[in-house]
Amino acid sequence: MNTSNQTPNKEEFRDHLATVTEEGKRIWIYPKKPSGNFHKYRVIVAIILLAVLFFVPLIKVNGHPLMLLDILGRKFILFGIAFGPHDFHLFVLTIIGLIISIFLFTVVYGRIFCGWICPQTIFMEMVFRKVEYLIEGDANKQKALNKQSWNGEKIFKKALKQGIFFILAFLIANALLAWVIGIDALVELASKPIPDVLGRFIAMILFTGATYFMGAYFREQVCTMICPYGRLQGVMLDPNSIVIHYDYKRGEPRGKIKKDEEQNLGDCIDCHLCVDVCPTGIDIRNGTQLECINCTACIDACDEVMVKVKRPEGLIRYASKNEIETGDRKIFTPKAIGYTIVLILLFSFITFLLSTRSDFELSIVRTAGLMAQEQPGDKLSNLYDVKIINKTFNTLPATLELNNMPGEVKLVAGDITTQPQGVSEGKFFVIIPKESIKSLNTPIEIAVKANGKIIDVIKTSFLGKVAGQKLENK
Ligand code: SF4
Ligand code: SF4
């Protein structure tokens, strides 16, 4: 048994949570230390993801973070490209795209995300649990330690474990915070008096407390009780979804191997190891369950048993319900392939939107309701409004020039030097010699320059006067 109490009767498992007694008390799970091929691959993936978590916030491009997810400040940097409030439409499209992607991915591939990528699973199974095994030993030793009285050994081990848990929670919380506020703000938090950085300090305390609580105490309850993604699995999965399944057709009737006895049993030898390793305390042989986070521990445990008893591996494996029922081991059904193609197209679309986004938004329009004005030197002028949105991290010292005919541009209101991530507005005259104006509405081009380079050319029109013709404003 992997729990401190009895796991629920298998006929009644759908009416119970594996980690709660009928009286509503928590059943503490003591999963046996996992090992095996899937576990090795999961460790590698976890190391890569933890490296991303801790080291990516340290990377800077041109003095700015490579990645920043400042939700409260509505400022995001993805691979060095800044996205601000002006990119709200992109943000909404990306979120909608991600929600559809998660839905499609789950329909086809079940809870692969939970087992391999979810931060909670990685922190719990690959960080906190590893420390626990190191200090307190495997499941049986942990149970024994918890039962024994508070002697020196128990106090030392428990204090050491909780101390390391707290340090880990602090480190993880700061790494998460670095993604949200940036590494510079985090360094400031460490170096300035608390009143000067009070908001960040409170955020750090909350992040640390939540991480510690989830790693040291709440554990699998996060997946089974809080996580909305986990709760929605029931409506997302269908009989073709690929999840972790026990092949009941092959395994049943289960039973222990008895030497020198004729037995008409399936391949499951009822060793209970798949249950003993489960971090959510369930028996996968009962079928797909809400609590299963697809961590693969039961696959590894069962494969090891199958090798020992000289039976084929894969009694518990990634499979769809239909595959188990029909025996047709076809993982990629036409539906799975179709959804995967839609997923790839969706991601390509989002990537296209993000990568083709311009650094600036410029608009120049002739000021409504105003006619051409006479200017000294036999010239005419029109008044225009200019608006510049600078999405970069650098100040944009914009200047305006008439591009396609002789004439001048004269800024009369505002300042069009635009601050990083800022907006500037101004008004300017375009002044053109009368001899260059051949019609009532002359197309003109205004070049917007920054640091001597043209960054955009805006096409608009110049309202003129031509001898013998009426003046009109189009
Ligand atoms: S049933 Fe298997 S895959 Fe699911 S959570 Fe338990 S050990 Fe992990
Ligand atoms: S580990 Fe495999 S053989 Fe052992 S009880 Fe689970 S399914 Fe049966």
Question: For residue range 62-108, what is the model confidence (pLDDT) as tens digits?
Answer: 888 999 998 877 788 888 888 877 777 777 777 777 887 787 788 88
Q: Which two tokens stand for residue 170?
A: 């602090």
Q: What is the DSSP letter of 25?
A: P
Residue 271 CB less than 6 A away from ligand 2? yes
Task: Name the nearest CA neighbour of 35 among 112, 117, 133, 111.
Answer: 133
Residues of the chain with pLDDT > 90: what percent?
A: 47
* pLDDT tens digits, one per residue of 40-49: 999 999 999 9
What element of type H or E holds 109?
helix 88-109
Residue 316 CB less than 6 A away from ligand 2? yes
Provide the pLDDT confidence category of residue 12 given band limits of 50, 70 and 90.
Answer: low
Q: What is the pLDDT of residue 158?
A: 97
Q: Which residue has the higher pLDDT, 234 or 385?
A: 385
Give the distance (Å) from ligand 2 centre to CA of residue 307. Answer: 12
Nearest-angstrom CA–CA distance, 357 and 319: 41
Nearest-angstrom CA–CA distance, 279 and 297: 8
Length of the chain measured in residues: 474
**Beta strand pairing call for 423-433 and 379-390:** antiparallel
Q: Do residues 420 and 394 lie in contact, with contact meaning Cβ atoms separated by under 8 Å?
A: yes
- Specify the pTM: 0.82
Residue 366 CB less than 6 A away from ligand 2? no
Nearest-angstrom CA–CA distance, 251 and 270: 9
Provide the pLDDT confidence category of residue 443 given band limits of 50, 70 and 90.
Answer: confident
Count the neighbouring beta carbons within 10 Å of the beta carbon of residue 457. 14
Q: Which residue has the higher pLDDT, 95 or 127?
A: 127
Q: What is the mean pLDDT of residues 408-429?
A: 86
Give the atom of ligand 2 at the shortest distance from the alpha carbon of 269: 3
Exposure of 285 in the CB half-sphere (CA atoms within 13 A) = 24
Residue 282 CB less than 6 A away from ligand 2? no
Q: Which two tokens stand for residue 442?
A: 């002359």
Q: Which two tokens stand for residue 227?
A: 């996580």
Nearest CA to ligand 2 atom 8: 268
Q: Which residues pair with 174 in a beta bridge?
A: none
Confidence check: pLDDT of 470 > 80: no
Q: What is the mean pLDDT of residues 124-140?
A: 98
Per DSSP, the residues of 408-440 read: EEEEEEE--EE-TT-EEEEEEEEEEEGGG--SS
Residue 315 CB less than 6 A away from ligand 2? yes
Ligand nearest to the CA of 313: 2
Amino acid residing at 324 = I
